[in-house]
Structure 1
Amino acid sequence: MTADGRVLYLVACGGYPAAELPAFVEHARSAGWDVCVIATPAAMAFLDAGRLAELTGHPVRSAYKRPGEPDVLPPADAFVVAPATFNTVNKIVAGISDTLALGLLNEALGAGLPIIMAPYPNSALAGHPAYAASVEALRSWGVRLVFGRPGDPRGGADQPGRENTAFPWDDLRAVLAALPPGRAGAG
């Protein structure tokens, strides 16, 4: 736990930016956040759970706990979803809680906790009508959305399925820094 006592749940979905979480965790911790990583089952293939547990001091959670088991993570004050996949964006809007990550995000929405989300679908999925409607719904519910910009050297025409879009880590850091202390950042 950090001296500030603010707890950030960093939710990772299945996408290559999930491999880059350690640097974001280090930044958030240096800004006073006690960081807990929650991963969708698909995200587990992209991240280093051992390294993240070492950095945060908390286990990486990807499944619901068993009935009667104590919760090993402190309650969250805010959430960052990075990357937020097409699947996760649409399921949150539909109120689906079929993974721990979705369940916690749906609870956070209901509780009015601040959520910062970096949607990261490919261009075909970003053009799907359900995605556009979901993004608008999230915006109207007060979710802070952060989008990437052109320029990622890991994507492009020579790598089908990968977009030429830089993941917005710097923008996520700035939006997180702008949250008021404590739970005052809700909404």
Structure 2
Amino acid sequence: MTTLYLFGSAAPPVLEVAEVIKAGQGRGWDVCLGLTPTAARWLEADLSALEELSGHSVRSKYKLPGEPDAWPKADVILFAPATFNTMNHWALGLTDRFVVGVVAEGIGKRIPTVVMPCVNAAYVQHRAFERSVAELRDMGVTVLYGDGGFVPNQPGERRSEGYPWHLALNAVDAIVSPRP
């Protein structure tokens, strides 16, 4: 069975994570959920149900020294939604958040990783964002941004079609079940 680490930061699509876990399980994946501290706060009332659904603890903090790993080893990582802050922290190697530390280390461990941002059109005007996208791509991360990925919306606007979770899940599927 493929083990997927599903990571999310505090953007509105993270509120749909239970359906994403179910979709991953429907594809035969063992899904472990990790969240930024703010995303964990947003989902606080649902954390027990998410743990029951996934069969694993939901993590948002580093484990203490000497504690065993709570999850099986990852075969692939999906980080979605990834906020402006998360993308920039990761590209710069700032690992004060558990999930950012795991994906930063995952590059060195050669764990295939897909990220799909969730940022608005105002944030992407900041030069750091495009540099972060380019840096992550240069390190081998599949970044679903632009054509064929997430396209920014205007600040405060939500798309009627919603966040394109299907693109993220299909990108993971292409990694774990490559077709000839």
Tell me which amino acid in the other structure corresponds to 1:117. Answer: V
Q: Could you say if the C-alpha distance between residues 56 and 72 of structure 1 is closer, same or farther in structure 2, counting changes exceeding 3 Å? A: same
Query: Which residue of 1 is the match for residue 157 of structure 2?
Result: 163
Residue 149 of structure 1: how far off its partner (Å): 4.5
Tell me which amino acid in the other structure corresponds to 2:131. Answer: A
Tell me which amino acid in the other structure corresponds to 2:39. Answer: A
| RMSD between aligned residues | 1.8
Q: In 2, are the aligned partners of 1:16 and 1:46 still within 8 Å (CA)?
A: no
Alignment of 1:1-187 (within 5 A): 4=1, 6-47=2-43, 48-146=46-144, 147-149=149-151, 161-165=155-159, 166-181=162-177
Matched positions, count: 170
Q: In 1, are the aligned partners of 2:7 and 2:78 still within 8 Å (CA)?
A: yes
Runs of 4+ in 1 over 3 A off after TM superposition: 163-166
Secondary structure at 1:178 match in 2: helix
Cα distance in 1 between the residues matched to 2:125 and 2:157: 13
Write the deviation string for residues 122-145 of structure 1: whole angstroms up to 9, x where unpaired: 211111100011111112222112
Cα distance in 2 between the residues matched to 1:45 and 1:65: 18
Q: In 1, are the aligned partners of 2:76 and 2:176 still within 8 Å (CA)?
A: no
Unaligned ranges ≥5, structure 2:
none
Residue 163 of structure 1: how far off its partner (Å): 3.2
Residue 27 of structure 1: how far off its partner (Å): 1.0
TM-score, normalised to structure 1, is: 0.84
Unaligned ranges ≥5, structure 1:
none
